[in-house]
Amino acid sequence: MREHLLYINGGWRAGGGAPAAAVSPSSGETFASVATGTPADVDDAVAAARAAWPSWAAASPFDRAGWCEQIIAGIRERRAELARALTEDQGKPLAAEAYDEVDELAEYFRMAGEDAKRREGGLPASTSAERRILATRVPLGVIAVVSPWNWPYTMGAELFAPAMAAGNTVVWVPAPSTSACCAVLADVIAGTGLPAGVFSYVSGPGPVVGDALVAHPGVAGVGFVGSVETGALVAARAAGKAQLLELGGNGPMVILEDADLELAAEAALEAAYLCAGQSCTAGERFLVHAAVRGEFVERVVAATKKRIRLGDPFQPETTMGPLNNEATAAKFDRHIADALAGGARVCCGGRRAAGFPTGLYAEPTVLDGVTPGMAIEREETFGPVVPVVEVTSAAQALELTNASPYGLTAAVFTEDLERGLAFAERARAGWVNINASTNLWESHLPFGGRSGSVSGHGRVGGRYPMETFTEPKTVVYPAPRYRK
């Protein structure tokens, strides 16, 4: 059984707390132990990061991009190990999803290095001919990164890769339930010989090490991806620091009466079952026009039964693995029970699957007859379910879309592009797809919640975190004099 330690100031060490067991959600077996950090460990990591920051910030962006390339090489060399560690720890299918996440992880470092090299400043005009002005952006210092368990590699890297490439140092606290695979990634990064203190990894309970980190006076900025509830706590504890918070979603997938139903049904599978529905971009509710609701439900049920293979995530034929933890599985149960009590109907699935090593395998589920106000319609389920809500017009679909406190993603299906664009303009969401799943995104584009929603603020994706993790700096100097 592998023992994972903390990585602080260029070295591995045991945490101040008792090691925690890493238990596979797919087999129920303990496969590793993970060090548990304490606030004292966080203090040491932040101190090391602060000490490393001046020289790291002073390095050329091309030098920092070179380190990104070395990390990419390490990821590619250990691609199979990273993928298997992810499947064992998180539960996502090895062939269908885990390798894809590892490949996207490498892409985040590639983008970060390239974006750092292309950052530019300006030469604004002065009110005086005797002065010149330089306008640039400079790194903040130490960035705290706290990341979730559903995409353990990429949700951390989309924050700490651009933060490091822009000249900041980073302390990373991943979610406890996937700290084992994150320790493998930390080992890959450590293996590049990165200067001590530039990157540290501290595992442990969020309320202990996560809280100590985001509230630490030595931290200049905080990047967090996770739930709305935890995000609110992070925002309060990190008051006064730069913050990038990417929180939950309840993104609707709207199917209008002129939609291509074959395309919409295909997209529904990706929207509902990718990562077993454990995604902030998942299609959490399906607002379907009454004229096509029956056919849409039939198509989705048929496609679910034909295409989705729940099973051992290490088997190549598996397309959907278990849920990651019991709290998420219990919410799946609770939301379905509430919907059924309110008159919804199970068309397929609807329960935990029997015959597996753990109770975390949830059946791919389609619910019809869901109505506004049910828990499954207004909250983020984070499970493999297609809750179908009937609407009678695009206007009603838009009204339900905008009634949600969330504002992360939405999708609309229509054969009329102008109609789709009109919906997208009016939908209060940070990202809207037309004729594509809510789970479709491109990692170089700005992604985040709409202002005023509970889905966070700031933008992840490509170079956009660099806007949060750097700040403007203005330098005024005398105009150079020409000497003959």
No. of helices (H) and no. of strands (E), the chain? 15, 20
Tell me, yes or no, whether 217 lies in a domain: yes
What's the rounded Cα separation, in Å, for the pair 408 and 432? Answer: 9
Domain identity same for 227 and 260: no
**Residue 483, in any domain of the structure:** no
Same domain, 237 and 362: no
Q: Which two tokens stand for residue 370?
A: 């869901």
Catalytic residue among 88, 101, 107, 246: 246
Q: Are 240 and 380 in a shared domain?
A: no
CATH number at residue 136: 3.40.605.10
- Catalytic position from the list 68, 181, 182, 280: 280
User: Is 280 assigned a catalytic role?
Assistant: yes
Together in a domain, 68 and 214: yes
Question: Are 361 and 214 within one domain?
Answer: no
Residue 50's φ and ψ, nearest 5 degrees, are -65, -40
Looking at the structure, do residues 182 and 276 belong to the same domain, yes or no?
A: no
- Name the amino acid, one letter, at 31: F
In a domain, 451, yes or no: no
Please check whether residues 289 and 230 belong to one and the same domain: no
Q: Which amino acid is at 154?
A: T
The amino acid present at 269, given as its one-letter code, is: L
In a domain, residue 189? The reply is: yes
CATH number at residue 315: 3.40.309.10
Starting at the edge strand found earlier in the chain, the sheet holding 365-370 runs 345-348, 365-370, 385-391, 285-289, 252-255, 409-413, 431-434
Structure token pair of residue 20: 């925690």
- What is the domain extent for residue 60? 2-247+457-473
- Shared domain for 210 and 332, answered yes or no, is no
- Asked if the structure places residue 482 within a domain, the reply is no
Instruction: For residue 246, indicate whether it is catalytic.
Output: yes
Q: Is residue 168 part of a domain?
A: yes
- Could you tell me where the DSSP H helices lie in 166-260? 179-190, 211-214, 228-237
Match 């130490």 to its residue by tokens: 142
Please tell me the total count of domains within the chain: 2
Residue with tokens 């949700």: 155
**What Rg, from alpha-carbon coordinates, does the chain have?**
24
* Per-residue pLDDT in tens (0 to 9) along the chain, 484 residues: 899 999 999 999 999 999 999 999 999 999 999 999 999 999 999 999 999 999 999 999 999 999 999 999 999 999 999 999 999 999 999 999 999 999 999 999 999 999 999 999 999 999 999 999 999 999 999 999 999 999 999 999 999 999 999 999 999 999 999 999 999 999 999 999 999 999 999 999 999 999 999 999 999 999 999 999 999 999 999 999 999 999 999 999 999 999 999 999 999 999 999 999 999 999 999 999 999 999 999 999 999 999 999 999 999 999 999 999 999 999 999 999 999 999 999 999 999 999 999 999 999 999 999 999 999 999 999 999 999 999 999 999 999 999 999 999 999 999 999 999 999 999 999 999 999 999 999 999 999 999 999 999 999 999 999 999 999 999 999 999 888 7
Q: Are residues 238 and 259 in the same domain?
A: no
- Regarding pTM above 0.75, the answer is yes
Domain assignment present for residue 270? The answer is yes
Q: Are residues 260 and 327 in the same domain?
A: yes
Amino acid residing at 282: A
Q: Are residue 239 and residue 261 in the same domain, yes or no?
A: no
Same domain, 242 and 294: no
Domain contains 484:
no
